[in-house]
Amino acid sequence: VKEIRDIGYDVITQKQSFPVTNMTCASCAISVESISKSQVGVVSASVNYANSEALIEYIPGVLDLNALKSAIQ
């Protein structure tokens, strides 16, 4: 996505927050963030352990939201 934007085109993305349950430490948050970033269609991911929340920027129509939810739960 960055490369496409760098040459002057735009890629439509969306940001959405997802609850993340059963995180017991900061390492869990890092793991959830890594798993999220590895999903096809995810542009960026940020996980907040204190809020038990993941903020995901993704390309609509490319990311399977149900698969992402399953992966991070």
The answer to whether 14 and 58 are in contact (CB under 8 A) is: yes
Query: Can you read off the two tokens belonging to residue 67?
Result: 């698969």
The three-state secondary structure class of 24 is coil
Separation of alpha carbons 5 and 27, rounded Å: 32
* pLDDT score for 11: 87
Which whole number is the average pLDDT over 32-61? 94
Tell me the two tokens of residue 47. 């996980």
Secondary structure class of 10 (helix, strand, coil): coil
49-67 pLDDT, tens per residue?
A: 999 999 999 999 999 999 9
pLDDT higher than 80, residue 22? yes
Q: In the beta sheet, which residues pair with residue 18?
A: 54
